[in-house]
Amino acid sequence: MFQSKRRTALLIAVLSAGLALHQAEQDAWAAPAKQSKPSEVKNVVLFVGDGMGTAHRNAIRLATKGIAGELEMDDMPYSGLVHTNSADSKSFITDSAAAATAIASGVKTYNGAISVDLQGKPVETILEQAKKAGKATGLVTTAQVTDATPAAFAAHTANRSAQSDIAKQYIEQTKVDVILGGGEDYWYPAGNPGYYPDHPAEDPEEASKGTQGNLVERAKQLGYTYVRTADELKQASGRKLLGLFANEEMFQQRPEGEGDVYNPVVPLPDMTKKALDVLSQNKKGFFLVVEEEAIDEMSHENNGSLMIKAGQQLDEAVAVAKQYAKRHRDTLVLVLADHECGGLTIETPGGTDESGDGKTISGEDGPFPIARSTQTFALDWTTTGHTAADVPLTAMGPGAERFTGIYENTRIHDILEQLLFGKSRR
């Protein structure tokens, strides 16, 4: 009898333990995961390779590092894949304005919109939030500083073409601390050529066309140091900096051999370094956007040679930011694209061109040498426009692990908002 009672008691204990374990497992599945404390992110450097899809990255890598090499932008511990579609009723394939608006504000909108929603209402951007939090802010690009991508982080307008309005907002409303790139023509009224002459030989159509008066003088009144050359940029001091280094873009967008030039007055890595030097004076941190525009512009022309050259400059700029981040562990670095351009693939040279019959603009481009190899590769362009292809994102620094997976471009804003301010509208 004693042994029977003992076995019964043991059986009850075992069953009770099993039920308790089962309930614990059920609770673990049902209960929300315990949230860890937000990572301490003080600084953000967000790189945009405009139009840079996966094939673009690989072409730049092959030409620069070889088959087994890694670009600086790829040698980062975390990666994701980003959907790029816009909310445009006529075309879901995005332009740079709608894509940058989604990244900057977390809101999908129509093509051509600069941080306004489908009803034309302004939507707050992550850069504006950073400014309100006391951080320094910066925009660096090889395009016009008022072009779609930088504009979407620091301005609001129904049409991306209103570039003088965008410039005025930068200095009077958003009060961006560092603004470096091209586009002098939109800062001076017609008839006032500024430092860079109107109607230059390389593009006679370039000329001052501002609609908001002399915005360079206005910027000076507001405390900006204005620079026009590499030497002036190097010598500049202070916490507010405006640098305009070309009439329009800092390159000439053309098909290969037809006046195409990529030779910025100030290279992107140098502008990036100067921006970091200036912005890092703010003890509360900074938010910096750096764009290489020529990847997209040269892809529109199916100009593989200068697309690669521009991509190499972007990679050198990323290296500058990575070096900074390694010394400042509270710095998050992201490298992404707004969309893909060109429908690009990589092939061995000399094969049949499936993209056309030789009469179309698009087709095989190359051959291009592979670094540290005797082999070559060709680029096969399938369009001169944007595509709906997903684009890669790579990240390093605090919170970088949050950017893994496959997701909408609006999620980039939402994660940044959580990391920087511990909140999200989602």
Return the active site residues: 96
Q: At what angle do helices 410-421 and 96-105 cross, to 10 degrees?
A: 30
- Cβ 391 vs Cβ 336: under 8 Å: yes
Rounded to whole angstroms, how far apart are CA atoms 232 and 250?
Answer: 17
Sign of CA dihedral 178, 184, 187, 188: positive
Report the distance separating Cα 68 and Cα 88, nearest Å. 40
What residues are designated binding site for Zn(2+)? 50, 296, 300, 338-339, 386
3-class secondary structure per residue, the chain? CHHHHHHHHHHHHHHHHHHHHHHHHHHHHHCCCCCCCCCCCCEEEEEEECCCCHHHHHHHHHHHCCCCCCCCCCCCCEEEEEECCCCCCCCCCCCHHHHHHHHHHCCCCCCCCECECCCCCECCCHHHHHHHCCCEEEEEEEEECCCHHHHHHHCCECCCCCHHHHHHHHHHHHCCCEEEEECHHHCCECCCCCCCCCCCCCCCCCCCCECCCCHHHHHHHCCCEEECCHHHHHHCCCCCEEEECCCCCCEECCCCCCCCEECCCCCHHHHHHHHHHHHCCCCCCEEEEEEECHHHHHHHCCCHHHHHHHHHHHHHHHHHHHHHHHHCCCEEEEEECCCEECCCEEECCCCCCCCCCCCCCCCEEEEEECCCCCCEEEEECCCCCEECCCEEEEEECCCHHHHCEEEECHHHHHHHHHHHHCCCCC
Tokens of 333: 């670095």
Tell how far CA 207 is from the center of its chain: 28
Peptide bond into 367 cis (omega under 30): yes
Distance CA 131, CA 170 (A): 12
